[in-house]
A and B are shown apart, each in its own frame.
Chain A
Amino acid sequence: MKRFTDLYWRLDATSSTTEKVAALRDYFTAATPADAACALRVLCGGRQLRAVSTTLLRQWAAEAAGIPLWLVEECYAHVGDLAETLALVLPQPGPDVGTDGVGLGLAECMQTTIEALRGASDDVKRDTVERVWQRLAARERIVWHKLLTGGCRVGVSQTLVARALAEVAGVEPAVMAHRLMGTGVTDAESYAEAMTSGPTMADARRPYPFFLASALEGEPGEFGPTTDWIAEWKWDGMRAQLVRRGGDATLWSRGEELVNEAFPEIVAAAAMIPDGTVLDGELLAVRGNSLLGFAAVSKRSGRRRVPRKLLTEVPCIFVAYDLLEHDGTDIRGLPLAERRMRLESLVPLPCTAVAGPAANATVAVPLESATVPPPQLLHSPRVAGDSWDALAAARATSRGRGVEGLMLKRRSSPYGVGRVRGDWWKWKIEPLEIDVVMLYAQAGHGRRAGLHSDYTLGVWHDGRLVPVAKAYSGLADAEIVELDRIVRATTLDKHGPVRVVQPTQVFQLAFEGISRSTRHKAGVAVRFPRIVRWRRDKTPPEAGTLADLVRLIDAGTFAAAPLSEVQP
């Protein structure tokens, strides 16, 4: 446990990649395979067990500290991290506590003080928790609390973890990245297997590391001729890989979770493609001829078992845009143009749901077609455009189609690992914008703990300001600090951690879409709202109105437009 705590704080203390890799390397060199497997699960953001509810923990900590619960809550609002808050308010451990109060390895500690609490009575839980508290210093308590509540996230990317492990094992980073995909490492045995320097046998079900695109700011002016590129719609769904090997099909999310149970119709459809195939693509929710958007897909994705009702309400399809393995051979090194050609012959049906005038889907195959492969498995059609202007025009139709813009991929590009700039670009549509006024502010979390950085923003309606969005990104640190001071100075009222402020500050708010909503007081809901800039040059009377927003809805510019309405 001490070793892992040290690793946690070492990673926390530095922003240097080299030092992070060094810290990881030191940890994995010294840790036992069982502890290492356990640490890997935490570092790679695997699903964690919440052994004790935070409500109970707060109560117990308040009692142990001899302070009222409301004071713990005030502290939490100030500190912005519950694990840390509790660690700091608890009485300090006795002087005889060494540097490792629990005296156990990470795996054993998690087994005996966390996993053992699953299904235990509250009394047993409390007993264990209080016993551990007495034996840990604050810096260890923080880490243990995070493990206990299933919220231990560490600031390292999977790429860094793979790089460090690759160094320890003496294999290529890409090989290690592949071995770590999915549920590859779960215990000492599988860890040892992942760390062997030779090839391993256990990759039958494993997906490949996802290749990621970079966001394109501005126009693709210097990309050369459009013939060097393949354009596709940027789908508003969930990225996934469909692995068809050994007579089996597995579906993996980008978070490397196996999501077979959540999308049974896709897994069933995969039986129709030949063994030795890996597809990269997007899970989309679609009803009739219209896309339902990411929110609908996510209703399905978290499920272990999907109720029949949800299956019919949110039917899903898999739209493939890349072929990574063909006839059992890894073809990621081939040029995209070649991979796509093979893809289109393996999965001949294009997703026609957005096949408007600019799309290159010449044959619109009805979704009810009896042809194999079945309609759950489609490919992402190329978007035609013989000039950047033509593609820009196609992109401009995105919002009405329920897609997020275009993807631009270089024809010659291999399928890489991680995010490499240059070959794959997301060319998203420009967001909608409106000027809004800050109405409430709340302290942030993590790096912004104690700083009022989360704002509720409003527009004018009937001479009053009504809240329409909550946003907390897009400002520079110095601006947040300055705004924090303004919030403190202009507070009219406090409701717990939320401050009602005098409406004095105006912001330019960007959002992806807008729809009517009965759940929101203003009657509209905006999607992905974020602050673009602080308009110091504007005063609240110059901010936008609810009528401005409603007009956007009426103009049909909201995200999930039924496609039947926008198709000619």
Chain B
Amino acid sequence: MSDLLAVTDAGLYCSQGDFYIDPWRRVPRAIITHAHADHARSGCGRYLCAAPGTLVLRSRVGSSAPIDSLRHGETLSINGVQVSLHPAGHVLGSAQVRLSHAGTTWVVTGDYKLEPDPTCAPFEPVPCDVFVTESTFGLPVYRWPDPASVTAEINAWWRANRDAGRTSVLLAYSLGKAQRLAAAVDPSIGPLIGHGAVMKIVEAYRASGVRLPPIDRVPPRTRKMGGGRALVIAPPSVAGSRWLGLFGETSVALASGWMAIRGVRRRRGFDKGFVVSDHADFPGLLTAIAASRARRVLVTHGFTDTLTRLLQERGVDAAVLPTRFTGEAAPDAAVTDGEDRDDGDQADAGEPPEPDALPEEQS
């Protein structure tokens, strides 16, 4: 019995079904776990994604791309391989891909988290023989605090800023985390304002039926938006840019799993860091792996070597699945290259800067 998936130059390939999962090159047929740029490249012949994520994927790969969708749990046969998509809890429409062929079942998680998220369906354990898991935060130092307590911290920070007449700027990945945060914070504290990159996805979320509080756009050439009372949600790329000057005095915070480490918090130099991630923490990874009941585990994207060694020592048949994104995630990506990336979404290079992101900042 041969493997159902193999790593090729273009990405993770299923030869029996002749399709790719999250390819990093243009291929004829691509199954997309979620719409983050390192998983969803534009220019493929045909896309397949989970139904709740169709509009979000469309906003990323273009309006003319042919996108098929499956409801969660619905099965499609592709060249004899049974394909179904199951909630991964990462962002709206994120899916684990289940492949079944000749009596063997594989599950590719894409990115996932186990914490509740008001903007997407919760992670669903899918029993399988081979479990391909991410490992972005695969070190035991990563253990997320209770989301409610983090939300309370964010609210308290916002309230204190508002009382001091300072605008709160919360930096978060524009697809998923920004919406999750907007849905979680207390809108009675003050107005919510979204950066253009965030609003593009907010619209796709709303059109997909996700309820979000009212969020204002940033009109061009406005001074002192929000009168020092607002919470502005923007991608990390705006840090240090002149765009922030729109808001007068600000307090800038970053919402990221990397903020769990003091050294990273200090280095990034923001006023505040909130530990919020759309990836599984270390206990989450172990829980998901156990729940899969898989006899073999392939580890990708992140602390692959470490997690693999630990699983092996615990008697699990585990190996590293080398991908283009192998190697530890780099907690500083967002600072230097000015791209909208975070939490190990390491290869967002295809995305052009948002038109209102960096006004004449590049010169």
Give me the interface of A with B, judged by CB distance under 8 Å.
Answer: 12-13, 65, 67-68, 70-71, 74-75, 78-81, 84-85, 88-89, 92, 142, 445-451, 477-478, 481-482, 484-485, 488-489, 491
Contact = CB atoms under 8 A, between A and B. Distances in A.
A446 B266 contact: yes
A478 B261 contact: no
B203 interface: no
A349 B131 CA distance: 81
Contacts, number: 76
A449 B143 contact: no
B61 interface: no
Given A67-B140, A74-B306, A451 B261 contact: no
Interface in B217-264: 260-264
B141 A89 contact: yes
Contact of A481 (B260, B306, B332): B332
A491 B305 CA distance: 14
A219 to B, nearest CB: 34
A416 B331 CA distance: 44
B141 A67 contact: no
B313 interface: yes
A489 B261 CA distance: 23
Given A80-B263, A488-B327, A488-B330, A75 B140 contact: yes
A481 B335 contact: yes
Interface in B120-169: 139-143
A258 B231 CA distance: 54
Nearest to A80: B263
A224 B267 CA distance: 42
A12 B262 contact: yes
A446 B330 contact: no
A73 to B, nearest CB: 11
Contact of B141 (A68, A88, A448): A88
Contacts of B331: 450
A84 B261 contact: yes
A13 to B, nearest CB: 8
Contact of A78 (B139, B262, B267): B139
Contact of A450 (B143, B264, B309): B264
B348 interface: no
A71 B306 contact: yes
Contact of A65 (B140, B267, B272, B330): B140
A488 B328 contact: yes
A447 B263 contact: yes
A65 B328 CA distance: 23
A84 B262 contact: yes
Contacts of A70: 309
Contacts of B261: 78-79, 84, 449-450
B267 A451 contact: yes
B335 A81 contact: no
A549 to B, nearest CB: 34
Given A74-B306, A79-B261, A447 B267 contact: yes
B336 interface: yes
B310 interface: yes
Interface of B: 139-143, 260-264, 266-267, 272, 306, 309-310, 313, 327-328, 330-332, 335-336
Contacts of B263: 79-81, 84, 445-450
A91 to B, nearest CB: 9
Contacts of A92: 143
19 contacts: A13-B272, A70-B309, A71-B140, A71-B310, A75-B139, A75-B141, A79-B141, A79-B263, A81-B262, A85-B141, A89-B141, A92-B143, A447-B263, A448-B267, A450-B331, A481-B335, A482-B336, A488-B328, A488-B330
A477 B261 CA distance: 17
Contact of B260 (A74, A88, A488): A88
Contacts of A449: 261-264, 267
A377 to B, nearest CB: 45
Nearest to B142: A88
A67 B260 CA distance: 19
B322 to A, nearest CB: 13
Contacts of B142: 88
Contacts of A482: 336
B333 to A, nearest CB: 8
A478 B306 CA distance: 27
B192 to A, nearest CB: 25
B96 to A, nearest CB: 26
A74 B310 CA distance: 11
A114 to B, nearest CB: 22
Given A88-B143, A446-B266, A451 B306 contact: no
A447 B266 contact: yes
B251 to A, nearest CB: 12
A92 B140 CA distance: 12
B327 A481 contact: no
Contacts of B264: 449-450
Contacts of A448: 263, 267
Contacts of A489: 327
A450 B266 CA distance: 12
Contact of B310 (A67, A78, A481, A484): A67
A477 B267 contact: yes
Contacts of A481: 330, 332, 335-336
Contacts of B306: 71, 74
Contacts of A65: 140
Contacts of B141: 75, 78-79, 85, 88-89
A530 B143 CA distance: 37
Contacts of A84: 261-263
B310 A68 contact: yes
B204 to A, nearest CB: 31
B284 to A, nearest CB: 14
B133 to A, nearest CB: 17
Nearest to B271: A13
A485 to B, nearest CB: 6
A491 B330 CA distance: 14
A448 B139 CA distance: 18
Across chains A and B, which 8 residue pairs bring their CB atoms closest together, nearest first?
A449-B263, A88-B141, A481-B332, A89-B140, A75-B141, A447-B266, A488-B327, A481-B336
Contact of A451 (B260, B310, B313, B332): B332
